[in-house]
Amino acid sequence: MLLIPCPWCGPREDDEFTFAGEADIPRPADPDALTDEQWADYLFMRDNRRGRHREQWCHTAGCRRWFIVERDTVTNEILGASTYGNSS
């Protein structure tokens, strides 16, 4: 079990959360300007990092907010959690 530190509710067990993969992937400003390859890369391609990984979680069964967790993919150690800057 992972104990995930929700920035609002504090540490909660992972059953309460939804995982949504790698963080920090901005939506392209002008999707029409992209080639199919670039669009597919944005939609589907993700790093599969060994070690420190920034990823998106949602506290689904709690406050229902999205936030970012930094986790070590080797040890599962949670290194920290942060909001998206805009707190809601």
Q: State the minimum distance, in angstroms, from the CB of residue 80 to other proteins.
A: 18
Which token pair is 38?
A: 């670039």
Rounded distance between C-alpha atoms, residue 38 and residue 75, angstroms = 33
Site string for other proteins, 3-42 (x = CB under 8 A): -----xxx-xx-xx--------------------------
Q: How far is the CB of 69 from other proteins (least distance, A)?
A: 17
Q: Which tokens sit at 66?
A: 């999205």
Distance CA(20)–CA(23), nearest Å, equals: 8
For other proteins, which is the closer residue by CB, 13 or 47? 13
